[in-house]
A = this chain, B = another copy of it.
Amino acid sequence: MARSAVIGVMGAGEGARPQDVKTAFELGRSVAREGWVLLSGGRNAGVMDAVSKGAKAEGGLTIGIVPEANKNTLSDAVDVGIVTGMGSARNNINVLSSDVVVACGFGGSGTASEIALALKSGKSVILLNNRAESREFFATLGGSLVHAAETVEDAVAAIRRLLNAA
């Protein structure tokens, strides 16, 4: 049995920009069409919610890892909620559980911590439509682990390359 790859998509919750929510939905659709499992922060807001909805629109499997100690904040588009009850310390689980990490759009400090934790654990990170300051900073930290993408297609192609190289 070959286990499906798990793609972790990180991004803003409540404060997400409309264009980032739209991109997240498209990214979720593409992840599902590739047969990958979609993993996110699980909450019913912003990028997390939209990427799960996109994946479900294509019949994909969606996993959400929430910071809360119950499923009250879990997106309706998440099939299986992992309930950590450990606040932002759960961000490290998000990245350790993902074969490739995508930071989608202008994230806040939570997303920044996930990029940093991914690099710390040696994971590749794709910055999709990220801040210029973010790309510059993380490039100085992560070197070749850090990839930039400007479209969902570019991001998916990068994920494919990274999975094949693994």
Q: Mark A75-95, 1 if CB is under 8 A from B, else 0.
A: 011111111111111111100
Q: Is A160 an interface residue (CB 8 A)?
A: no
Which residues from chain B contact A119 at a C-beta distance below 8 Å? 109, 112
A120 partner residues in chain B, CB cutoff 8 A: 88, 108-110, 113
**Chain B residue contacts of A165, Cβ below 8 A:** none
Asked if B69 and A96 make an inter-chain contact with CB atoms under 8 angstroms apart, the answer reads yes
Q: What 0/1 readout, one digit per residue, does chain A (117-141) give for beta carbons within 8 Å of chain B?
A: 1011100000000010110111011
> Does A35 sit at the interface, judged by CB under 8 A?
no
The residue that A113 contacts in the complex, of B56, B78, B79, B113, with Cβ under 8 A, is: B113
A73–B68 Cα distance when bound, in Å, is 19
Q: Tell me how many chains of this kind the complex includes.
A: 4
Q: Give A69 Cβ to nearest chain B Cβ, in Å.
A: 6
Q: Are A93 and B88 in contact, CB atoms less than 8 angstroms apart? A: no
Q: How far is the CA of A121 from the CA of B131 in the complex (A)?
A: 21
User: What is the bound-complex CA distance between A61 and B119, given in angstroms?
Assistant: 30
CB nearest to A93 among chain B residues: B84
Residue positions of A touching B, CB distance < 8 A: 1, 3-4, 6, 37, 39, 56, 61, 63, 65, 69-70, 76-93, 96-97, 108-110, 112-113, 116-117, 119-121, 131, 133-134, 136-138, 140-142
* 21 A–B contacts from the bound complex (CB under 8 Å): A3-B81, A61-B61, A65-B82, A69-B96, A82-B82, A83-B97, A84-B96, A85-B87, A86-B87, A86-B89, A87-B92, A87-B121, A89-B89, A89-B91, A109-B119, A109-B120, A113-B117, A116-B116, A133-B136, A133-B137, A137-B137
